[in-house]
Structure 1
Amino acid sequence: MRGKLETLAMVLGFVGLVGTVVATAMPMWRVSAFIGANIIVMETIWEGLWMTCAYQTDIRMQCRQYYSWLILPPEMQAARVLMCVSVILAFFAVLVAGCGVRSTNCCKDNERGKNIVLVVGACMFLLSCLCTMIPVAWTTHTIIWNFYNPEVIDAEKHEIGAAIYVGWATCGVLLAAGVILICRYCPRQQKEEGVYYAPTSAERQSMVHLERKSNGSFKTMQYV
């Protein structure tokens, strides 16, 4: 059962890695909203971290990369950097944590080192979750705030895109992977160090009685 939990954590970690890559590459972070005077539904504008795409009915989707990083809003600039960091952390977390699980032969002779490798991988999963959560939450807040802000014109309002939902799901998967590995580290560390239990008063008296009895029998054997 314990090995199955570690295997489950590794599967979740790999799914989280794929989720971060997909969310980073998807252009559907912000989608044009059709409200008020903006009733042109023949064309949908998608805005991502790397490009903007226009999808027209019965016409192939056309995408254009951003020519300058500075034209992006602040939340999108932060999202581009943090999502790239999240992908790197998730990738190395899968490699590091994979060396720390029981089913691998890496560090098999060094139990303490294997446990440390496991907890390092778990922390990297949690850091990757944090790096994904910050841009996703920031972008979600900005989209909702502008959507209900009466000072923002209808043409500049957006809706939450599919990449945001993928990002939220990825955060949950990475968090679950990190928590499971940390929970597995605690019993493994206790087993490695050993847990010392102080004897009770009754146990101490029993030990003293056995010691006296053994000493008395030893003296009797000497006389014989």
Structure 2
Amino acid sequence: MVYLAHTAHPQYAAMWLGAVGWILTVVTTGLVEWRVWVVADVSVITSGMVWVGIWRVCFFSHILVSPELRVMFCQKMRLSDAFTPWEIAVAQVLMMVAAVLGLLASASVIYGLRNIFFGLDKKIHILVAFSLGGVLYLLTAVCSLIPLCLNFNSVVQNQTIAFPDIFHVPPAPVEQHVGGGIAVGISASIMMVTSGIVFLTYQFPLKMDYQIQSSWPAKPQDSNPVFALSSPLSLVCSKDRNKVCGGKDNLAFESQKHA
């Protein structure tokens, strides 16, 4: 059994970093605060602010309410709707792809760490799992960053959206700001990029010690069993059993024997 756990401490931390980044990416997909619009007409939009996400458009109102949200009124934006901007349509597709890729990346790196911490000597499996997980984390970050940057650019350029009349939202805001959803998504992408790089830079140890060594040094004469068994002294003793090997006669014993 090969001990490899001490070689994967950075990868263990990167697994948690990538998992948190993936969870935040999923959260970002459902957030409605991607683009914050400030409107002048507050007769219907009593809060004066509209939150534009990639799936819904919401605002607070005491006139129009959604049954499940009480004072908040929301309308869905679908990929097939003609008024949906292309950057939001791209975000709907790529953010879902990013969620799936992040899940596969987490599963791959967990499998690699399982082989390491359980002492399974599967070098190819570990390297493939870490490499695949690192690449998938990088792809997840790219799929997330593209729609985030596109919508960030739309906010900077103050682009408009031709909402239908049922939305009760003007096509152009007075001003718009970057919402918290984009900030959360960018932070999640940075986490996954860092995690992917850590997994791709993992190096399997080149030299592994499978032997168990003694805790005390061996004596020089014991290091060679052939020498220990075939020493000249042992050969002499084996031929002549009456000969005392390596010792002196006890004179007192001899005197009592002949008495």
Fold match by TM threshold 0.5: yes
| Corresponding position: 1:183 with 2:183 | no
**Contact persistence 1:20–1:132 (CA under 8 A):** yes
Task: Please report the RMSD computed on the Cα atoms of aligned residues, expressed in angstroms.
Answer: 2.6
Deviation at 1:156, TM superposition (A): 6.4
Q: Which residue of 2 aligns with 1:215?
A: none
TM-score (norm 2): 0.63
Identify if the C-alpha distance between structure 1 residues 159 and 104 changes in structure 2 by more than 3 Å, giving closer, same or farther.
Answer: same
Question: How many pairs were matched up?
Answer: 181
Aligned partner of residue 17 in structure 2, secondary structure: helix
1:88-99 alignment, distance < 5 Å? 88-99=100-111
1:97-176 alignment, distance < 5 Å? 97-101=109-113, 103-105=116-118, 108-146=120-158, 155=173, 157-176=175-194
Q: Which residue of 1 aligns with 2:15?
A: 10
Identify if the C-alpha distance between structure 1 residues 62 and 104 changes in structure 2 by more than 3 Å, giving closer, same or farther.
Answer: farther
**Which of these residues, 48, 51, 76, is aligned with residue 46 of structure 1?**
51
1:50-69 alignment, distance < 5 Å? 50-56=55-61, 60-66=71-77, 68-69=80-81
Could you tell me the percent identity over the aligned residues?
24
Residues 178-224 of structure 1: per-residue CA shift (max 9 Å, x gap): 0111122xx21x6279xxxxxxxxxxxxxxxxxxxxxxxxxxxxxxx
Identify if the C-alpha distance between structure 1 residues 95 and 69 changes in structure 2 by more than 3 Å, giving closer, same or farther.
Answer: farther
Residues 73-116 of structure 1: per-residue CA shift (max 9 Å, x gap): 0110101101000000001100011111254449x232122111
Bigger Rg, structure 1 or 2: 2
TM-score (norm 1): 0.72
CA distance in 2, matches of 1:65, 1:73: 13
1:167 is aligned with what amino acid?
Answer: G
| Corresponding position: 1:84 with 2:96 | yes
**Contact persistence 1:112–1:192 (CA under 8 A):** no
Deviation at 1:55, TM superposition (A): 1.9
Deviation at 1:159, TM superposition (A): 1.5
1:22 is aligned with what amino acid?
Answer: V
Aligned partner of residue 201 in structure 2, secondary structure: helix
Deviation at 1:170, TM superposition (A): 0.8
**Contact persistence 2:59–2:74 (CA under 8 A):** yes
CA distance in 1, matches of 2:149, 2:81: 21
**Contact persistence 1:100–1:114 (CA under 8 A):** yes
Identify if the C-alpha distance between structure 1 residues 88 and 3 changes in structure 2 by more than 3 Å, giving closer, same or farther.
Answer: same
CA distance in 1, matches of 2:154, 2:61: 26
Deviation at 1:133, TM superposition (A): 0.7
Which residues of structure 2 form unaligned runs of 5+?
Answer: 1-5, 63-69, 160-170, 209-259
**Contact persistence 2:14–2:198 (CA under 8 A):** yes
